[in-house]
Amino acid sequence: MMPSWHVVTRLQSVVARETAPADQVAVTVGAFHAGERANVIPDRAELALTVRAVSGASLERAARAVERIVRAECAAADCPRKPDVVRVPSSPAVTPDPAVTEAVRGAHRAEFGAERVAAWPASPATEDFGLFGEAGRELHGASGVGLGYWMLGTAGMAAWSRARAQGSPLPSNHPPDFAPDARTALPAGVRALTAAALCRLGGAARGGPASDGRA
DSSP-derived secondary structure for 36-62? SSTTS--S--EEEEEEEESSHHHHHHH
pTM over 0.95: no
Q: Which residues pair with 46 in a beta bridge?
A: 33
pLDDT in tens, 2-40: 889 999 999 999 999 988 888 889 899 999 999 999 999
Contact yes or no for 16/84 (Cβ under 8 A): no
Residues 67, 63: Cα–Cα separation, whole Å: 6
Asked if residue 195 lies in contact with residue 107, where contact means CB atoms within 8 angstroms, the answer is yes
Residue 77's pLDDT is: 93
Q: For residues 157 and 118, what is the distance between their CA atoms, to the nearest angstrom?
A: 18
Q: How far apart are CA 84 and CA 14, in angstroms?
A: 20
Task: Give yes or no for residue 190 having a pLDDT over 50.
Answer: yes
Helix 98-112 × helix 182-201 angle, to 10°: 130
The more confidently predicted of residues 110 and 179 is 110
Q: Which of 11-15, 93-97, 103-107, 190-194 has the lowest mean pLDDT?
A: 93-97
Q: Please give the single-letter amino acid code of residue 7.
A: V
Measured CA to CA, the distance from residue 109 to residue 117 in angstroms comes to 6
| pLDDT category of residue 208 using cuts at 50, 70 and 90 | very low
Question: pLDDT value at position 141?
Answer: 93
Helices within the chain (DSSP H only): 2-16, 56-76, 98-112, 137-140, 157-166, 182-201
Answer for the pair 27, 68: CB distance below 8 angstroms, yes or no: no
pLDDT digits (tens, 9 = 90+) for 102-159: 999 999 999 999 999 998 887 777 678 889 998 889 899 999 899 999 999 898 888 8
Question: pLDDT at position 203, please?
Answer: 56
